[in-house]
Amino acid sequence: MKEGNEKEWVEQLMSDMKRLEDAHQAKVPQQYELMNALSEFKSRRKKAWKRELAIFIFTALTILAAYFVVSLRMPTVFLWGQILAIIMIPFIYAAEKKRRRSSNEVLDDGV
């Protein structure tokens, strides 16, 4: 009796495993689908790199301009630049957050 029960149990288990395997069969992507996904990823990464480079250059020029303003002792220009920068920070943050959400950009959060 025990042997018959065990055999039925194993057969039931094997049939359940087969059904589970059949239900979760992953579709193998075609070569053109992989190449399309890869080229799309590369183009998005290239756009992100160009944008980051532009932001870096703009930031470097801003720091250089601030250094010249301070070295030439023009405090009013420096103060106005600081005030405008503080006012613009929330707008830049909101625009960047909206752009990232809408474009599904490849993000590297460092995690």
User: Which pLDDT value is given to residue 8?
Assistant: 86
Q: How many helices (H) and strands (E) would you count in the chain?
A: 3, 0
Which helix (H) or strand (E) element contains residue 67?
helix 31-71
- The set of residues, in sequence order, having a beta carbon less than 8 Å from that of 77 and lying 6+ positions away, is 69
Question: What pLDDT is stored for residue 5 in this prediction?
Answer: 78
Instruction: Supply the pLDDT for residue 95.
Output: 86
Which residue positions in the chain have pLDDT lower than 70?
A: 1-4, 104-111
State the pLDDT at residue 111: 43
Give the Cα separation of 18 and 21 in Å (integer). 5
What pLDDT score was predicted for residue 4? 67
pLDDT of residue 108: 56
pTM for this entry: 0.50
Q: Do the Cβ atoms of 106 and 51 come closer than 8 Å?
A: no
Please tell me the predicted confidence (pLDDT) of residue 107: 56
